[in-house]
Amino acid sequence: MERQSVSLGELVEGWSPPASPAPMVLDGLYARLEPLDPSLADELHAANCEDLTGAIWDYLPYGPFELAEYRDWVGKMAASRDPLFFAIRDKATGKLGGVMSYLRITPDSGFIEIGHLNFAPRLQRTRAASEAIYLTMQWAFAAGYRRFEWKCNALNVPSRRAAERYGMSFEGVFRQATMSKGRNRDTAWYAAIDKEWPVLKAAFETWLDPANFDARGQQRRSLSDLTRGILVTRDPIFDS
């Protein structure tokens, strides 16, 4: 008997697993991502202390830290390869302002995640902060990854909004995904895929172009406006 046609998914041809990221510098117009190193701990801690409320730690599974504790944490994270941490330097000021990492690095399946984002007040809402995300996406897709993921606590509305601003489509909420600091955490999932990257890359480059900012540094076109049409699905919490 002749077998009925069965849908098995799109055949992926001409693709091979990319390399895992190694400690490296990612250099842009506004941001420089450097391998996290214990020698950077004191400057990063000083930047974190500019947040007098401690809010930058609310949705992270660790922190806030005293200086000695932070030095120890940076030492451990600097030695890790998954997560692989970067320190973020704002090239306009020359100062460090935060950290971020690749994690759940899975070359055989072609996906990689960005996370552990911790931006001190001096880095928040800057061109350098947005370019840091772009630089990590650019490296991942250029290396051959097929999928770039962003996950956050479902209660973290600013992070959910940022994911969409960066052109990552909402994929759902995993209920009771984990525990964080003794509390339940539902996790919201977002991702961009390689087929979307050419258009997404052009959107980022349009926004990052110095010509997109006036003499006062105000943007002429927002990144959200440039990426909105790329989203396959939007987060329903922003529909109301």
Question: Closest Cα to residue 113, out of 192, 185, 223, 197?
Answer: 192
The DSSP annotation for 33-78 comes to: EEE--GGGHHHHHHHHTT-TT-GGGTTSSS----HHHHHHHHHHHH
pLDDT tens, per residue, the chain with 240 residues: 566 666 888 899 999 999 999 999 999 999 999 999 999 999 999 999 999 999 999 999 999 999 999 999 999 999 999 999 999 999 999 999 999 999 999 999 999 999 999 999 999 999 999 999 999 999 999 999 999 999 999 999 999 999 999 999 999 999 999 999 999 999 999 999 999 999 999 999 999 999 999 999 999 999 999 999 999 999 999 875
Residue 83: the pLDDT is 98
Residue 189: the pLDDT is 98
Contacts of 157 (CB under 8 A, 6+ apart): 237
Residue 3: the pLDDT is 64
Residue 238: the pLDDT is 87
Residue 205: the pLDDT is 98
